[in-house]
């Protein structure tokens, strides 16, 4: 949670109320046609070009590595990059996790089909450098090792909640595991797989961990939910961010993807 304290401090210092606008300053840009990006916990940025190349940039937006063989695994679904030393690239079509080291060298491929995980559409990195997957076939959240075999699994979520979900993202943060289905809401587990609660956060885009909660975007607003809050807090996005195709928040501001570039923004005090 420590890296998010600066956002909370800035918002309080600015006396920003719900519905008020945030302000940002534009910083460095990376020009090109990109289809995806994901920041990690150390200020690095992973981007995927339209041609299928994965690139890594440091906090100064300098290129520090690339991987050129993404297309052979189909369309990329997500990147789990919160551990700067180990990055997981998930391809939903072929149910494969490509594991890269900090230099973007391939160290492993996990074919989930080999361990009978045929209906997985969300993958996240666990706090102990393993992988969370949600198996829609038996409605269970499972932790798997680098061999693809389940080392831990929850009870059937349909029995726990009465709902059959199809999550698009999983995050392990601050002793919580967040499983997000944009149609059904956010389902929270502890790191041992015990179900804690469901939050009716429907239709959020660019959702990612935020301290003990989550942050995301919906209808031109930045939404923040922390476990100690009863409701999500809403802040109008700056005009500069409204045209972005994707946003990724950091402790200093955010990254924004546009049709011809990625821009790094910092929060502005006004």
Token digits for 193? 């797989």
Query: Does the pLDDT of residue 151 top 70, yes or no?
Result: yes
Token digits for 201? 């956060």
Query: Does the pLDDT of residue 180 top 70, yes or no?
Result: yes
pLDDT band at residue 13 using 50, 70 and 90 as cut-offs: very low
Query: What's the pLDDT at 165?
Result: 96
Query: What's the pLDDT at 16?
Result: 53
Query: Does the pLDDT of residue 231 top 90, yes or no?
Result: no
| pLDDT (tens digit per residue) in 121-148 | 999 999 999 999 999 999 999 999 999 9
| Least reliable range by pLDDT among 19-28, 38-47, 132-141, 256-265 | 19-28
pLDDT band at residue 17 using 50, 70 and 90 as cut-offs: low
Structural domains in the chain (count): 1
Query: Does the pLDDT of residue 225 top 50, yes or no?
Result: yes
Which CATH number characterizes residue 21's domain? 2.120.10.30
Query: What average pLDDT does this structure show over 205-210?
Result: 90
Query: Does the pLDDT of residue 4 top 70, yes or no?
Result: no
| pLDDT (tens digit per residue) in 37-87 | 998 877 899 999 998 899 999 989 999 999 998 888 888 899 987 776 789
Query: Does the pLDDT of residue 14 top 90, yes or no?
Result: no
pLDDT band at residue 1 using 50, 70 and 90 as cut-offs: very low
- 165 CB burial (10 A radius; 0-12, 13-18, 19+): buried
Q: In what order do the strands lie in the sheet with 205-210?
A: 205-210, 213-218, 221-225, 233-236
Token digits for 89? 């690239």
Query: What average pLDDT does this structure show over 259-263?
Result: 96
Q: What percent of the chain has pLDDT over 90?
A: 67
Boundaries of domain holding 108 = 2-267
Query: What's the pLDDT at 196?
Result: 92
* Residue 226 contacts residue 212 (beta carbons within 8 Å): yes
Closest to 237 in 3D by CA, of 15, 14, 19, 3: 19
CA distance linking residue 144 with residue 254, whole number of Å: 31
Query: Does the pLDDT of residue 228 top 70, yes or no?
Result: no
Write down the mean pLDDT value for the chain.
Answer: 88
Most confident of 47-51, 109-113, 231-235: 109-113
pTM: 0.90
């Amino acid at each position: 949670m420590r890296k998010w304290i600066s956002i909370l401090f800035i918002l309080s210092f600015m006396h920003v109320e719900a519905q008020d606008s945030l302000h940002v300053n534009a910083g460095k840009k990376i020009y090109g046609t990109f289809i995806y990006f994901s920041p990690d916990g150390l200020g690095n940025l992973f981007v995927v070009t339209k041609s299928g190349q994965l690139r890594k940039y440091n906090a100064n937006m300098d290129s520090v590595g690339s991987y050129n063989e993404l297309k052979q695994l189909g369309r990329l679904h997500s990147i789990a990059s919160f551990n700067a030393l180990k990055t997981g690239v998930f391809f939903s079509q072929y149910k494969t996790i490509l594991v890269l080291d900090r230099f973007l060298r391939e160290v492993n491929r996990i074919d989930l089909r080999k361990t009978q995980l045929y209906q997985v559409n969300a993958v996240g990195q666990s706090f102990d450098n393993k992988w969370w997957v949600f198996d829609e076939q038996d409605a269970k959240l499972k932790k798997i090792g680098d061999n693809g075999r389940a080392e831990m699994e929850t009870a059937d979520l349909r029995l726990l909640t009465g709902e059959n979900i199809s999550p698009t993202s999983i995050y392990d943060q601050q002793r919580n595991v967040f499983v997000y289905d944009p149609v059904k809401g956010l389902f929270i587990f502890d790191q041992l797989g015990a179900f804690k609660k469901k939050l009716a956060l429907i239709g959020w885009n660019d959702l990612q961990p935020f301290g003990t909660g989550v942050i995301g975007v919906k209808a031109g607003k930045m939404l923040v939910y922390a476990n100690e809050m009863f409701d999500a807090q809403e802040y109008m996005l700056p005009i500069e961010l409204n045209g972005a195709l994707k946003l990724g928040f950091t402790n200093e501001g955010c990254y924004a993807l546009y049709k011809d570039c990625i821009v790094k923004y910092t929060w502005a005090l006004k």
